A and B are shown apart, each in its own frame.
Chain A
Amino acid sequence: MLKIENLKAKIDERHVLRGLNLEIKTGELHAIMGPNGSGKSTLSNVLSGKKGYEISGRITYENQNLLELGIEERAHKGIFLAFQYPLEIPGVNTNIFLKSALNAIKKSKGEKELDAIEFLKIVKEKALKLNLGEEMLSRQLNVGFSGGEKKKNEILQMSVLNPKFSILDETDSGLDIDALRIVSDGVNSLRNKKNSFLIITHYQRLLNYIKPDFVHVLINGKIIKSGGPELAIELEKKGYESFN
């Protein structure tokens, strides 16, 4: 599904990614762990197409050159990023935002757009499944949400938009156990043979709830070690220092 080859990214004259290689096959869930400043968020930004980076190397997504696509085109093709810091958009209802997003994606595929009633049916079903109150949907997008609510809202959006490839950028940071469970339930319920995930995290904790197929250690803009779930446990014990 996704192949990253010798990816380098620079922002404000600072080298952040320094030759990163990674392949994620359809149906796989990969976790990337790394210390602060190792390039984790840059990776998710570069994958989703955020502007401002000087990039070299190749990223192939479903046999296309991903780097040629704009941010929304990538979203139309099934890439979803759960933000580390979801943005507040005053005055815009979560419902309306999500309906516009879903219909934009449908439109790009030439599918029929949903009317308000059809949309509400889907969104309510998903919210119920994730054990989220409907009340969140009628609030202004992320405005006045607690940190945990914002993250839950990202997962709700993910489950409504039903992406092929989801990136979770430190979604677990600052979550209590209950919220953590909702986030992992969201990921696990979307997990199937057709969808892939990239979970970016500091801690092994999340991986108790979401079983990764592969774990990678990202340090200084490069993946320096890859392995199975046991690698996360080793990391937690020894710390990142031992990998330097």
Chain B
Amino acid sequence: MREKELSKLKEYKYGFSTDVENIKAPKGLNKKVIQFISNIKKEPKWMLDWRLKAYERLQQLKEPNWQKPKYPKINYQDLYYYSAPKSFKDKPKDINDLDPKLLETYKKLGIPLQEQKRLNGIAVDAVFDSVSVATTFKEKLNEQGIIFCSMSEAIQKFPDLVKKYLGSVIPITDHYFATLNSAVFTDGSFVYIPEGVRCPMELSTYFRINASQTGQFERTLIIADKGSYVSYLEGCTAPMRDENQLHAANVELIALDDAEIKYSTVQNWYPGDEDGNGGIYNFVTKRGLCKGKNSKISWTQVETGSAITWKYPSCILKGDNSIGEFYSIAITNNWQKADTGTKMIHLGKNTKSKIISKGISAGHADNTYRGLVDISHKANNANNFTQCDSLLMGNSCGAHTIPYIKNKNSSSNVAHEATTSKISDEQLYYCNQRGLNQEEAVGLIVNGFCKEVLQQLPMEFAVEAQKLVGISLEGSVG
């Protein structure tokens, strides 16, 4: 038994849990729980009303069921919707006053928060279960008028911006999980880049689920004002538990005229064990609005964790000449399942979109690319290019490509390319003969397969992601 535990730990090195006392909302989903969340976060009334409106709406919605990966029915009354370390009742003003256990946790995750040890050139917002525990480099960013803080703080300090943009890309009526998030969201990051400012460092949020039987419902809102630029990255990990845990986030991006947002994700939630027990249900709604002309939103995702990944980071290309990009690597091993892709909604003239998707399946895993390219009748000269490549390892896994194209404008141009390939024994033999062991060989071949996407990641994270790609597939070839 002990040996099995040990080998598990080797596979998922973020699988430890932190022993802290928590304050939790009472179990279950109801108005009282929503009031509890709003109350503990000291929210203004308008925010509570907004949440309750979403809750009302949720009563009329049904959980969607069209996705490929099926899962056992979730009992929403058996979950905790808020969990925060007790030491957090009054948020410490200074990072050095944080519970040492929390500091230790982030250190173990490779995200030192204390000033002297911070990562160079990267500002971090650290979210632990339902609360943001610390945000680094806040003051420095503030000098240029950049706001980078937790969502809770933004609701109190910048209500006008929040009121204007929250729910403007993902309305509270959108769909089951997005509406659920709107009702019970706890924390997440808020970013505002003022007009003409190029954010001088990478902004990043590190999400950590710690408590058991707890859902994480984070909410992130990024606004890039006219002519501004920001690159943002999120990372995610969770302890190994036998239960499935729900993570239903909403992320909204808004780019005004000539602004650019680059949003990268390295998702490494606990994927479950090799028999398919436990793991995170990663049901996330991410949507960007290219509101202004010449604006650009680029999504890059490296999805290696979670029992089920179900998300379609999308771009609404409303401004003329706006550009949407989606670069994705989805790796599924053992019994993991992914149904992911993007939606590119072309509304403005001369809008362009590019989709590069790399799906890798090993073990008994199942990997689906699902994407929509929708060109409205007004989107003259719209242009899309889609490339979907799947790589299979072994004989028990699956790969599926489901592209939807709706084109209502004859001056537009849509191109779709797709390939499916398999790592052959001969390729591995060739690599082995040159001195590379099985894992090094697989890592090399897979990294080559994903190169176009890995190149999109900010340099500081590309190396980590490359390693992660190798680790996620360890043991997948016999």
What residues of chain A have their CB less than 8 Å away from a CB belonging to chain B?
A: 48-51, 70-72, 74-76, 80-81, 83, 86-87, 89-93, 96-98, 100-102, 104-105, 108, 140, 157, 161
Is B445 part of the binding interface, using a Cβ–Cβ cutoff of 8 Å? Answer: yes
For A89, list chain B residues within 8 Å (CB). Answer: 427, 430-431, 444-445, 448
A72 with B430: in contact, given A89-B448, A90-B448, A97-B444 (CB under 8 Å)? no
Q: What are 29 contact pairs spanning A and B, CB under 8 A?
A: A49-B433, A51-B425, A70-B432, A71-B429, A71-B433, A72-B432, A72-B436, A76-B435, A83-B433, A86-B430, A87-B426, A89-B444, A89-B445, A89-B448, A91-B447, A92-B444, A92-B447, A92-B448, A96-B444, A98-B434, A100-B444, A101-B436, A102-B435, A104-B437, A105-B435, A108-B435, A140-B448, A157-B434, A161-B435
Is B416 part of the binding interface, using a Cβ–Cβ cutoff of 8 Å? Answer: no
For B444, list chain A residues within 8 Å (CB). Answer: 89, 92, 96-97, 100
Q: Contact: A97 with B427, CB < 8 Å?
A: no
Q: Contact: A48 with B435, CB < 8 Å?
A: no
What residues of chain B have their CB less than 8 Å away from a CB belonging to chain A?
A: 421, 424-427, 429-437, 440, 444-445, 447-451
For B431, list chain A residues within 8 Å (CB). Answer: 89, 97, 101
Q: Contact: B440 with A87, CB < 8 Å?
A: no
A87 with B435: in contact, given A92-B444, A96-B444, A104-B440 (CB under 8 Å)? no
CA distance A71 to B430 in the complex (A): 9
Q: Contact: A50 with B429, CB < 8 Å?
A: yes
Q: How far does the Cβ of A141 sit from chain B's closest Cβ, in whole Å?
A: 8
The 9 closest A-B pairs by CB, nearest first: A91-B448, A92-B448, A101-B434, A71-B432, A75-B435, A87-B430, A104-B435, A105-B435, A72-B432
Q: How far does the Cβ of A76 sit from chain B's closest Cβ, in whole Å?
A: 6
For B430, list chain A residues within 8 Å (CB). Answer: 83, 86-87, 89
Q: How far does the Cβ of A150 sit from chain B's closest Cβ, in whole Å?
A: 11
For B421, list chain A residues within 8 Å (CB). Answer: 90
For B450, list chain A residues within 8 Å (CB). Answer: 91
CA distance A134 to B437 in the complex (A): 27
Q: Contact: B445 with A101, CB < 8 Å?
A: no
* Chain A residue at minimal CB-CB distance from B449: A91
Q: How far does the Cβ of A26 sit from chain B's closest Cβ, in whole Å?
A: 21
For B429, list chain A residues within 8 Å (CB). Answer: 50-51, 71, 87
CA distance A90 to B429 in the complex (A): 16
Q: How far does the Cβ of A70 sit from chain B's closest Cβ, in whole Å?
A: 8
* Chain B residue at minimal CB-CB distance from A143: B448
* Chain B residue at minimal CB-CB distance from A93: B448
Q: Contact: B451 with A72, CB < 8 Å?
A: no
Q: How far does the Cβ of B439 sit from chain A's closest Cβ, in whole Å?
A: 11
Q: How far does the Cβ of B419 sit from chain A's closest Cβ, in whole Å?
A: 9
Q: Contact: A101 with B449, CB < 8 Å?
A: no
* Chain B residue at minimal CB-CB distance from A140: B448
Q: Contact: A91 with B436, CB < 8 Å?
A: no
Since A89-B427, A93-B448 are in contact, a sample of 14 more A-B pairs with Cβ atoms closer than 8 Å, ordered by chain A residue number, is A50-B429, A71-B432, A71-B433, A72-B432, A72-B436, A72-B437, A81-B433, A89-B430, A89-B444, A91-B448, A92-B444, A96-B444, A96-B448, A104-B437
Q: Contact: B440 with A100, CB < 8 Å?
A: yes
CA distance A157 to B431 in the complex (A): 12
* Chain A residue at minimal CB-CB distance from B423: A89
- Number of A-B residue pairs at CB separation under 8 A: 76
For B433, list chain A residues within 8 Å (CB). Answer: 48-49, 71-72, 74-75, 80-81, 83
CA distance A149 to B449 in the complex (A): 22
Q: Contact: A90 with B449, CB < 8 Å?
A: yes
Q: Contact: B445 with A92, CB < 8 Å?
A: yes
For B427, list chain A residues within 8 Å (CB). Answer: 87, 89
Q: Contact: A91 with B451, CB < 8 Å?
A: yes
CA distance A235 to B87 in the complex (A): 87
For A71, list chain B residues within 8 Å (CB). Answer: 429, 432-433
For B449, list chain A residues within 8 Å (CB). Answer: 90-91
For B437, list chain A residues within 8 Å (CB). Answer: 72, 104
For A96, list chain B residues within 8 Å (CB). Answer: 444, 448
Most buried by A among B424, B425, B436, B449: B436
Q: Contact: B435 with A101, CB < 8 Å?
A: yes
* Chain B residue at minimal CB-CB distance from A167: B433
Q: How far does the Cβ of B62 sit from chain A's closest Cβ, in whole Å?
A: 42
Q: How far does the Cβ of B181 sit from chain A's closest Cβ, in whole Å?
A: 37
For A101, list chain B residues within 8 Å (CB). Answer: 431, 434-436
CA distance A35 to B430 in the complex (A): 25
Q: How far does the Cβ of B351 sit from chain A's closest Cβ, in whole Å?
A: 29
For B451, list chain A residues within 8 Å (CB). Answer: 91
For A102, list chain B residues within 8 Å (CB). Answer: 435
Q: How far does the Cβ of A44 sit from chain B's closest Cβ, in whole Å?
A: 10
Q: How far does the Cβ of B68 sit from chain A's closest Cβ, in whole Å?
A: 26
CA distance A92 to B452 in the complex (A): 11
Q: How far does the Cβ of A137 sit from chain B's closest Cβ, in whole Å?
A: 15
For A86, list chain B residues within 8 Å (CB). Answer: 430
For A161, list chain B residues within 8 Å (CB). Answer: 434-435
For A51, list chain B residues within 8 Å (CB). Answer: 425, 429
CA distance A234 to B471 in the complex (A): 56
Q: How far does the Cβ of B455 sit from chain A's closest Cβ, in whole Å?
A: 11
CA distance A30 to B363 in the complex (A): 44
Q: Contact: B426 with A97, CB < 8 Å?
A: no
* Chain B residue at minimal CB-CB distance from A157: B434
* Chain A residue at minimal CB-CB distance from B434: A101
Q: Contact: B448 with A100, CB < 8 Å?
A: no
* Chain B residue at minimal CB-CB distance from A108: B435
Q: How far does the Cβ of B424 sit from chain A's closest Cβ, in whole Å?
A: 8
CA distance A100 to B450 in the complex (A): 17
* Chain A residue at minimal CB-CB distance from B445: A89
Most buried by B among A74, A83, A104, A140: A104
Q: How far does the Cβ of B434 sit from chain A's closest Cβ, in whole Å?
A: 4
* Chain B residue at minimal CB-CB distance from A107: B435
Q: Contact: A100 with B426, CB < 8 Å?
A: no
CA distance A70 to B428 in the complex (A): 13
Q: How far does the Cβ of B135 sit from chain A's closest Cβ, in whole Å?
A: 36
Q: How far does the Cβ of A133 sit from chain B's closest Cβ, in whole Å?
A: 21
Q: How far does the Cβ of B431 sit from chain A's closest Cβ, in whole Å?
A: 8
